[in-house]
């Protein structure tokens, strides 16, 4: 008999990641200077702790317009509610536990960055200059700096100079890991029919047998 998943276990994972994410962000905020002056090299120039403020999306991406940040924050709030609801549905339907663990990681990352966007502008005073309000305009704290590659693209790609050095945080990493594992393991995660589908299938089979017998 398949062991039932308990929803609270997945929420505990989300909570643990959120606490870790916020603890790291606050440690960076209160103990490091912004930019190069406070940079800490871990593995040469390849992996560094580099404190930056990100007013936009994950990995330093940004939205334009003065209302872009507000729209992004509201979208994150709605997405967070949707992800939490989806995780509860997966547990009720006895979905593959690995899938639910991944969704818990995605939920944690979403909440982690929502907290920054919603409250940091007020409590850390890091809302961008000109923001209409400090609420919902907080800048996300990023600190994990991977200097992957920089140089000129091949001539057949235009030969332009290009630099690939994402700066992100624990919440971004949690989302990335959750999504990546789902993509890699999708055949296993979605191989098992959801419980309700099994019931429907058995009911249809019973009805078909009854029809043939008559």
Average pLDDT, the chain: 85
Does 203 have pLDDT greater than 70?
Answer: no
E strand or H helix at 168: strand 167-168
| Span 183-197, pLDDT tens digits | 999 999 998 555 555
Active centre residues (catalytic): 142, 172
Does 114 have pLDDT greater than 60?
Answer: yes
pTM for the predicted model, two decimal places: 0.80
Does 17 have pLDDT greater than 90?
Answer: yes
Please state, in angstroms and rounded to a whole number, the distance separating the CA atoms of residues 56 and 79.
Answer: 16
CB 201 within 8 A of CB 193: yes
Does 199 have pLDDT greater than 60?
Answer: no
Give pLDDT, residue 202.
Answer: 54
| Span 81-110, pLDDT tens digits | 999 999 999 999 999 999 999 999 999 999
CB 25 within 8 A of CB 117: no
Total residue length of the chain: 214
Please state, in angstroms and rounded to a whole number, the distance separating the CA atoms of residues 102 and 94.
Answer: 15
Task: Kindly write down the DSSP assignment for every residue of 45-100, as one continuous string.
Answer: TTEEEEEEEESSSGGG----STTHHHHHHHHHHHHHHHHHHHHHHHHHTT--HHHH
Does 124 have pLDDT greater than 90?
Answer: yes
Does 142 have pLDDT greater than 80?
Answer: yes
User: pLDDT category, 208, cuts 50, 70, 90?
Assistant: low
Q: Is 74 exposed, middle or buried (0-12, 13-18, 19+ CB in 10 A)?
A: middle
């Amino acid at each position: 008999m398949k062991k039932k998943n308990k929803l609270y276990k997945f929420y505990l994972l989300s909570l643990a990641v959120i606490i870790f994410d916020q603890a790291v962000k606050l440690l960076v905020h209160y103990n490091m200077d912004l930019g190069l002056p406070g940079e800490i090299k871990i593995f040469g120039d390849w992996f560094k702790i580099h404190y930056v403020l990100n007013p936009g999306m994950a990995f330093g991406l940004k939205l334009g317009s003065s209302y872009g940040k507000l729209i992004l924050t509201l979208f994150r709030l709605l997405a967070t509610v949707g992800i939490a609801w989806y995780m509860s549905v997966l547990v009720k339907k006895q979905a593959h536990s690995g899938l639910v663990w991944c969704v818990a990681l995605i939920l944690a990352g979403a909440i982690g960055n929502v907290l920054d966007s919603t409250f940091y502008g007020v409590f850390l005073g890091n809302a961008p200059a000109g923001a209409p309000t400090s609420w919902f305009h907080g800048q996300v704290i990023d600190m994990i700096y991977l200097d992957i590659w920089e140089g000129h693209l091949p001539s057949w790609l235009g030969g332009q100079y290009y630099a690939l050095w994402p700066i992100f945080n624990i919440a971004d990493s949690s989302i990335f890991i959750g999504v990546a594992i789902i993509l890699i393991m999708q055949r296993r995660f979605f191989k098992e029919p959801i419980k309700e589908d099994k019931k429907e299938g058995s009911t249809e089979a019973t009805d078909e047998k009854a029809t043939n017998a008559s």
